[in-house]
Amino acid sequence: MKKGKIALSILCLAIGFISCNKDDEGSNITEVPLRDRTEQQAMDKDSLVKYLNGHYYNASAFVSNPNASTSDLIISKLPSDGVVPDPANNTLLMDDVELKTVTFADTNYEFYILDLNPTAGGESPKFSDQIRVNYEGFTLNNEVFDSAVTPVDFDLISLVPGWRKVMPFFKAAESFAAQNDGTVSYTNHGVGVMFLPSGLGYFNNATGSIPSYASIAFKFDLLQISQNDHDNDGVPSYLEDLNDDGEFTLNTYADTKDGDDTDGDNIPNYFDTDDDGDGVATLNELEHKTYEVDTNQGGQEPVLGVKEFEFSRSDKGGIITIKTVTIKDSNNDGLDDYLDENISINYNE
């Protein structure tokens, strides 16, 4: 095994590369012998197709209903005659799901999503963002293995791969407001179900009531999202996916830069505070700016420029202070300063 792969394995363990199953805290994960991923994907597809063709849901509950949630969703097994009961209100799952494809672990995977509120009004998360959701995980024999009926926060890169492949297809709430009882209400949020092959789930790891090589599904309400900057270097984490594959990977070989580790120090850029290894911290190789917005005088927040990102904000008495950073390419060679080992300008000096 290459050093990069070993380091990545250690890193993944360090950041908790687990599923969103909170029951894992008290359960053992059992590894079984590895199967060929492509062969297993073909078997998983068969099981998913069988499930989707053998179950229906109450589709009418989600028609023109922007405030629906997964608590309204009822998935039922098709009766023995193979006919969907009350077709005016119910729909076969296979008729409404969308087939998606993705490459993960050098394998072409297919998975299915059911979007129950395609007109959700918020923004979509990036694969590396933080999300707030209600959810329920279940196996294809309809056994629930985990759930959260009150909102919980997850870092997408800490979950099984399927979550970070699925979430960018959905949108968070259009708006939210605190209630007198301390809860938060969400308007027009994302609602869906993901049906995942084992390779985008636990694969060969058996955990809790989930056997190894099991296809699984999750219902979810996508409520809020926030942009992650894991190393707090000013560059949003999603931009540190240099090869744009939706994963954080190290270089395959020491003499190549085919992954997301610019300086080859076995630390992916999203976790590296000096991405190009030139001795100047990434945060200092970005241009800093501060805006003050007096909302008491009707002040409006600034429109950020190209490659300008909010780094922090505070609000005192209606005066909002926003600090931003801007990614620079001082020699216009197409390589940003923080990734260019030949450029070591400290914009904070």
Res 83 pLDDT > 90 = yes
The CB density around residue 336, as the number of other CB atoms within 10 Å, is 20
pLDDT at 50: 98
Start-end of H helices in 202-346:
none
What is the pTM (predicted TM-score) of this model? 0.88
Q: Are 158 and 15 in contact (CB under 8 A)?
A: yes
Distance between CA atoms of residues 321 and 179, nearest Å: 26
The H or E element containing residue 52 is helix 37-53
- Phi/psi region, residue 45 (left: phi>0; alpha: psi -120 to 50; beta: rest), is alpha
Mean pLDDT over 321-339 rounds to 97
- The first and second tokens of residue 157, run together, are 């890169």
Q: Mean pLDDT for the chain?
A: 91
Cα-flanking dihedrals φ and ψ of residue 290, to 5°? Answer: -125, 130
Q: Is residue 245 within 8 Å of residue 228, measured between CB atoms?
A: no
- Residue 258: predicted pLDDT: 82
Which neighbouring-strand residues pair with 193? Answer: 114, 219
> What pLDDT score was predicted for residue 28?
58
Q: What is the pLDDT of residues 204-257, one digit of tens each?
A: 998 888 999 999 999 999 999 999 999 999 999 999 999 999 999 998 877 778
The whole-angstrom separation of Cα 217 and Cα 136 is 8
pLDDT at res. 133: 98
DSSP lists the bridge partners of residue 347 as none
Does position 53 have pLDDT exceeding 60, yes or no? Answer: yes
pLDDT band at 29 (very low <50, low <70, confident <90, very high): low
CB atoms within 10 A of CB 314: 9
Q: Using alpha carbons only, how large is the chain's radius of gyration in Å?
A: 23
Domains identified in the chain and CATH numbers: 3-226 (3.10.50.40), 237-339 (no CATH)
> How many Å separate Cα 179 from the centre of its chain?
28
Tell me the average pLDDT across 281-293: 97
